Amino acid sequence: MPEDVKEVTMDVPPKGLKKRRRRTRKETGATVEKDHTEPAKVPIPEPARPVQLLSKSSPQTVILAPAKSKVSKILLVPKGTTKSKPVHRKTFKAKRIHVVIDNTKKTQTRRNKVVADIDSMSEEALRSAAVSAKLSKAETVAKVPLPLLRQLMKDYRMMRGQLV
């Protein structure tokens, strides 16, 4: 360190600046002061502008369009105003509808006729009808009780669409 330079240390760092730090080098044992100057301000680059070419044949000529500025909208709301309550829309009750189907009577009559036919069948006719409808084998149909066989034939006709 030159003799004509004095080293001054302050207890309180000046405003806006940090306290100086001293670093020592291990090889020489000399002290090195770090200069705390403000860093140079780096200019912020402008946003990219769209590039327009005059012609396709000469790519050297470039025209930069001016930057678009967007104006922000500010709404001034006076103090003391409150938000209005949400409006509930009126709900309507479901209405009862009376429907008349024309051919219900015809279907009911046909169903009653088929059920009456099955009820009036004799035991042997009922068993032969079950075998001819391929509901089961003749040996198995011979063992089935009569009320169960009548209900089986009614369900079979219902499934085949012959009752309705």
Total domains present in the chain: 1
Query: Would you say residue 92 lies in a domain?
Result: no
d(CA 1, CA 32): 9
End-to-end CA distance of the chain: 118
- Where residue 143 sits, what CATH number does that domain have? 1.10.720
Does residue 56 belong to any structural domain of this protein? Answer: no
Identify the H or E element spanning 140.
helix 138-143
In-domain check, residue 74: no
Residue-by-residue pLDDT tens, the chain, 164 positions: 566 777 766 666 666 666 566 666 655 555 556 656 666 677 777 766 665 555 555 556 677 777 778 877 777 777 766 677 777 777 878 888 887 777 778 888 888 888 999 999 999 999 999 999 888 899 999 999 999 999 999 988 888 877 65
- Asked if 153 and 118 count as a contact pair (C-beta separation under 8 A), the reply is yes
Does 47 fall in a domain? no
Domain of residue 108, residue span: 104-159
